[in-house]
Amino acid sequence: MKPFDIVVVGGGGSGLYAAMEAMKTNPSLNIAVLSKVYPNRSHTSAAQGGANAALANKAKDDTVDMHIFDTIKGSDYLADQDAVEVLCSEAPKIIRELDNIGTPWSRMDDKTIAQRPFGGAGRPRCCYCADKTGHTILQSLYEQCLKKGVFFFNEYFVLNLATGVSKSKGLIAMNMRTGKVEAFPARTVILATGGYAKMYWNRSSNAAGNTGDGQAIAYRAGIPLKDMEFVQFHPTGLRKSGLLVTEGARGEGGYLVNRNGDRFMSNYAPEKMELGPRDLVARSIETEILEGRGFESPAGPYMHLDLTHLGADLIKLRLPQIREMSMYFEGVDPIDEPIPIRPTAHYSMGGIDTDISGRTVMDGVYAAGEAGCVSVHGANRLGGNSLLDILVFGRITGRTAAEEAGKFEPAEISAVELKAKEEELRDYMKPSGHYERYGALREELGHTLGKNVGIFREASEIQKGISGISELKERFKHVRVFDTSDVFNTNLMQVLELKNMLDLAETVAAGAYAREESRGSHTRTDFPKRDDEKWHKHTTYTWVNGKPEIGEKPVTMGKHELQERTY
């Protein structure tokens, strides 16, 4: 195959924006997008609520500076302030650009883009398209990439980075249609594979494929990861499935109510109430449940998200998807009854360590979106900032790679290397006396993480989690792939995804254990206070002999001094 100038791994919002921007920056470049699904299936489609931008359409006094401050405060002061500045000042431009290429935004009476309030934000600045914002953005970007003639390699599963000699780059990936292992020599590689929160399995709102593939291959190639212990629990997941009910439901005026009929958020965030930041609301719900004020059910304890007072018209117009999901998965019509909810693992703040332009420590390898960690979200991401992150930094990274592609050479990937990889995959299919089923391991991993490294964490519990994960890794050695066919072997793919999750789970648990403080989404009951003296810094993880070696990196400060975070 002809070497590519840029190969983007992942066809979600950040990958597609990167491809589109790279094409714009230099139309002569040869750009490919590799994705394990058709790009329009990517998890960006599930983002419901919207994207923040200080357009000041709704609140005329909103400013970029206020957005910056809200984001830094929301991050519990762990975000890098230079990165946040880029995020927020690029925001209005990126929303307008999407409008210009056809994204259907909901509108206000004066025909400008509508905005609604979101958790942790001082002004209503979340731009949205009903409750299908991510879906419509993804469609727009996919359409524009088709228009621009980006090469798509759909349903390719990336196995590893080909780091080769000196500055040469490329990828090795499995073509799902044929089972063949193929080489993708490329001058530059952008990893935009999304998050890793699916490792919490049944307590996660994520798609089945959010298994951190990009982070795992970067990590194993020696690129450090950053801030992996910060996993955001979204306050409102559906009780049975963990699927998400958008923060927009509270933005539109929904109440959180406990068994006694109290709007309990008045005890935790008297000013912002239901629209407190996500970490705080999630902890409040869990506390209510732990103290016995939750509802009981066979599927576990839960809380009520009450929308009934909003009326049928508003629910149908602004939250149609939420209504559909509540009916499909809980048998509840939110027009008539409250929705049963419980916090669910939702977003990974951590990821591949990158600089402000998307570069990793390895020449020619870049990362963007949820796969990367710039970091703009620090210890806790604000609602409406994740779509914004993938768009802004997808675009910046696409441009950086396009400008730098000339500096690097494509790797020569030998047939021998490919053959060896194919053999390695075949090994999973060899019959042996004792074997493990991947389904059971996957479920146990989710259970262990949810129990020992969940919303509330404590040293001895995390220790249990760490040894639990080691045990699962040991058992994984005996995992067996029963499907021996070459064509579309989803059995093999799911096993490889599990391998990625296990490696990353170790970093999450190790970070959670090391960080002896409570900050943002990371809550240590044995260290309940934020400890700026010892822990106002990023955590990094480097792969050393198959284990994470923990390091640290300073936080880039700016004009916002450390403050106590109250709402």
Partner 1 sequence: MAEHKEEMRDITFRINRFNPQVDNKPYFDDYTIPVEKGITVLRALNYIKEHVDATVSFRAFCQAGICGSCGMRINGISKLACTTQVWDELERCKVANVIKVEPLRNMPLIKDLIVDMDPMVDKMKKYSSWVESIMPEEKMGEKEFLVSEEEFLEYDKATDCILCASCMSECSILRANKEYVGPAILLKSNRMNVDSRDGANNMRIAELVKDHGVWDCTHCYRCQETCVKSIPIMDDIHGVREDALISRGVKDTSGARHAEAFMEDLPKKGKLIEATLPIRTNGMGWTLKNLLPMAFKMILKRRTPPPPPLVKPAKGIKKFREEFKEMTDHVKQDQKDQKK
Stretch that binds partner 1, among 97-105, 115-123, 360-368, 506-514 (CB under 8 A): 97-105
- Enumerate residues 77-96 that contact partner 1 by CB under 8 A: 93-96
Return the number of the residue (109 or 564) whose C-beta is nearest partner 1: 109
The span from the CA of 258 to the CA of 235, in Å, is 14
Query: Is 311 an interacting residue with respect to partner 1 (CB under 8 A)?
Result: no
Query: Is 104 an interacting residue with respect to partner 1 (CB under 8 A)?
Result: yes
Site size with partner 1, rule: CB under 8 A: 73
Return the number of the residue (151 or 525) whose C-beta is nearest partner 1: 151
Stretch that binds partner 1, among 128-136, 216-224, 381-389, 538-546 (CB under 8 A): 128-136
Q: 235 vs 51, 105, 154, 254, 314, CA distance in Å?
A: 18, 25, 34, 13, 22
Q: Which of 240, 475, 536, 537 binds partner 1 (CB under 8 A)?
A: 240
Return the number of the residue (46 or 280) whose C-beta is nearest partner 1: 46
**CB of 393 closer than 8 Å to CB of 88:** no
Stretch that binds partner 1, among 98-106, 258-266, 417-425, 496-504 (CB under 8 A): 98-106
Query: Is 435 an interacting residue with respect to partner 1 (CB under 8 A)?
Result: no
Catalytic residue among 41, 135, 203, 234: 234
**Bridge partners for 409 per DSSP:** 168
Query: Is 136 an interacting residue with respect to partner 1 (CB under 8 A)?
Result: yes
Q: How far is the CB of 442 from partner 1 (least distance, A)?
A: 8
Q: Which of 463, 485, 525, 566 binds partner 1 (CB under 8 A)?
A: 485
Q: How far is the CB of 57 from partner 1 (least distance, A)?
A: 8
**CB of 78 closer than 8 Å to CB of 555:** yes
The C-alpha angle 91, 94, 98, rounded to 5 degrees, equals 140
Query: Is 297 an interacting residue with respect to partner 1 (CB under 8 A)?
Result: yes
Query: Is 303 an interacting residue with respect to partner 1 (CB under 8 A)?
Result: no
Q: Which of 21, 41, 116, 390 binds partner 1 (CB under 8 A)?
A: 41
Query: Is 207 an interacting residue with respect to partner 1 (CB under 8 A)?
Result: yes
Q: Which of 222, 316, 324, 471 binds partner 1 (CB under 8 A)?
A: 324
Cis upstream peptide for 375 (omega within 30°):
yes
**Bridge partners for 304 per DSSP:** 257, 340
**CB of 218 closer than 8 Å to CB of 365:** yes
- Tokens 């796969």 appear where? 371
One-letter amino acid for residue 47 of the chain: A
The three-state (H, E, C) secondary structure of 161-202, written as one string: ECCCCCCEEEEEEEECCCCCEEEEEEEEEEECCCCCHHHHHH
Write the burial class of residue 556 (CB in 10 Å: 0-12 exposed, 13-18 middle, 19+ buried): middle
One-letter amino acid for residue 40 of the chain: N
Q: Which of 38, 266, 471, 566 binds partner 1 (CB under 8 A)?
A: 38
Q: Which of 58, 116, 135, 530 binds partner 1 (CB under 8 A)?
A: 135
- Locate 176 and state its tokens: 């799902």
- The closest alpha carbon to 562, from 529, 532, 521, 527, belongs to 532
Query: Is 481 an interacting residue with respect to partner 1 (CB under 8 A)?
Result: yes
- Enumerate residues 164-193 that contact partner 1 by CB under 8 A: 177
Q: How far is the CB of 142 from partner 1 (least distance, A)?
A: 9
Q: Which of 291, 482, 559, 566 binds partner 1 (CB under 8 A)?
A: 482
First to last CA, the chain: 55
- Tokens 């490294």 appear where? 453
Return the number of the residue (178 or 467) whose C-beta is nearest partner 1: 178
Residues 6 or more apart whose CB falls under 8 angstroms from that of 158 comprise 9, 34, 36, 171, 172, 173, 193, 213, 214, 217
Q: Which of 180, 222, 311, 328 binds partner 1 (CB under 8 A)?
A: 328
Is 125 annotated in the active site?
A: no
- Enumerate residues 346-385 that contact partner 1 by CB under 8 A: none
Return the number of the residue (456 or 488) whose C-beta is nearest partner 1: 488
Catalytic residue among 116, 123, 135, 250: 250
Residues 6 or more apart whose CB falls under 8 angstroms from that of 436 comprise 475, 476, 478, 479, 480
Q: Which of 243, 282, 352, 373 binds partner 1 (CB under 8 A)?
A: 243
Query: Is 315 an interacting residue with respect to partner 1 (CB under 8 A)?
Result: no
Is 250 annotated in the active site?
A: yes
Return the number of the residue (243 or 462) whose C-beta is nearest partner 1: 243
Q: Which of 14, 35, 40, 246 binds partner 1 (CB under 8 A)?
A: 40
Query: Is 331 an interacting residue with respect to partner 1 (CB under 8 A)?
Result: yes
Query: Is 25 an interacting residue with respect to partner 1 (CB under 8 A)?
Result: no
Query: Is 323 an interacting residue with respect to partner 1 (CB under 8 A)?
Result: no
- Locate 342 and state its tokens: 């419980």
Q: 532 vs 231, 518, 528, 529, CA distance in Å?
A: 20, 10, 13, 9
Return the number of the residue (35 or 400) whose C-beta is nearest partner 1: 35
Helix then strand then coil, in percent of the chain rounded to 5, is 40, 20, 40
Query: Is 293 an interacting residue with respect to partner 1 (CB under 8 A)?
Result: no
Q: Which of 14, 52, 115, 144 binds partner 1 (CB under 8 A)?
A: 144
In whole angstroms, how large is the CA radius of gyration of the chain?
Answer: 22
- Enumerate residues 437-456 that contact partner 1 by CB under 8 A: 437-440
Query: Is 42 an interacting residue with respect to partner 1 (CB under 8 A)?
Result: yes
Residue 17 phi/psi, 5° resolution?
-65, -40
Instruction: Supply the residues annotated as catalytic.
Output: 234, 250
